[in-house]
Structure 1
């Protein structure tokens, strides 16, 4: 009787690669989207302001989108400055993660005859994917926290418009979480490969023979 195994180390590696690649692309797009924060005023409902890490945009029904880069980096709020650095680190480590795991995948004709090297490459890719995911979740969560604090600040007049969450915040959380899950799946794939490659237990080993003889001798007595 034969059983079909659907969850193999190779399938787990492909799944981890797919999830990691999706998280990397999502984080990359999130970095350059100008929709991290949005603001509209009750006094002027035809204007919507959008703020990102690199641009400030204004949307009006007559003109559409008009975006402009920030004039000075030092004039940016602290949360945007930190987010720029962390998102750049996330893009770099995410790209390195994909480059590291590609030669370590089963079925890829690279590093043939070097299973230990393939295993290390998968572990390295998983670690880099974790770093990329955390450096995506951290700035998005930090900007979300500062947005909430400023929104509920009682020192501002009620008529003054305030920044709220933009769509890029949610895509950033999704991308960072996907990178963390992808890195975890790479670790699981490595553990599955180690489990499959373990030496089979020999039924005729000296210890088994010794225990069998002792058991038979006890029965005779």
Structure 2
């Protein structure tokens, strides 16, 4: 059962790593809000971390990389750094978990490797949650702010929804690795003294039986 849970954690970690890369690349962080005068606009604008895309009504889409980082809002600038860090952490965590699962070392050393992987998955999940939550909060505040023009209002894009799902996957993978490995360590710590106690009892029984046999021979 423990091995099956670790395999489940590995699968969740792989999905979370894939989701992290997808969220970082996807341009649909902020999308055009079709309210007021925007209802007659025949195009939708997508704003991502690296580029802005304009999708025409005839399904023609054109993307352009941002000319300068300085023109980006603070939440997008911070999201770039957080998401890049999350990609690195999730990839490293997945690699460490693969190494730990295939390791032929003793149980304690193997569990230490998987605990490190679990910690990296948890940190990666937090580095996804922070920019996704920050950007979502900014979109909601601007949407209900009467001082912001309707043409500048944005809605939550698909990348942010995927970001929340990715956070849950990475957190679940890290949590399973941490909980399972700690339970394995506790089991080994309680199992070793029992084995030693059994060995000592067997030794005492052998010694006593040997002494009895010798006395019977002497008589």
Match of 1:74, SS state, is helix
Paired residue for 2:126, among 134, 140, 151? Answer: 134
Kindly provide the CA deviation profile for residues 3-61 of structure 1, in whole angstroms up to 9, marking residues without a partner as x. Answer: xxxxx221111011001111110111011101011104535331111111111011112
Question: What is residue 123 of structure 1 aligned with on the other side?
Answer: 115
Paired residue for 1:39, among 32, 35, 55? Answer: 32
For normalisation by structure 2, the TM-score amounts to: 0.82
Moved more, 133-142 or 114-123: 114-123
Q: Does 1:162 align with 2:153?
A: yes
Contact 2:32 2:153 in 1 (8 A): yes
Question: What is residue 60 of structure 1 aligned with on the other side?
Answer: 56
Paired residue for 1:146, among 130, 134, 138? Answer: 138
Contact 1:40 1:47 in 2 (8 A): no
Q: CA deviation at 1:195?
A: 4.2
Contact 1:40 1:49 in 2 (8 A): no
For residues 91 and 113 of structure 1, the distance between their equivalents in structure 2, rounded to whole angstroms, comes to 28
For residues 17 and 39 of structure 1, the distance between their equivalents in structure 2, rounded to whole angstroms, comes to 37
Decide which structure has greater helix share.
2
Map 1:53-92 → 2, pairs under 5 A: 53-62=49-58, 64-92=60-88
Match of 1:35, SS state, is coil
Q: How many residues align?
A: 194
Question: What is residue 191 of structure 1 aligned with on the other side?
Answer: 182
For normalisation by structure 1, the TM-score amounts to: 0.81
Match of 2:147, SS state, is coil
Question: What is residue 11 of structure 1 aligned with on the other side?
Answer: 4
Q: CA deviation at 1:62?
A: 3.2
Give the structure with higher Rg (CA): 2
For residues 86 and 175 of structure 1, the distance between their equivalents in structure 2, rounded to whole angstroms, comes to 14
Moved over 6 A (4+): 203-206
Superposed CA RMSD in Å reads 2.0
Moved more, 88-97 or 194-203: 194-203
Structure 2 residue ranges without an equivalent (≥5): 202-219
Structure 1 residue ranges without an equivalent (≥5): 1-7, 207-221
Contact 1:137 1:173 in 2 (8 A): yes
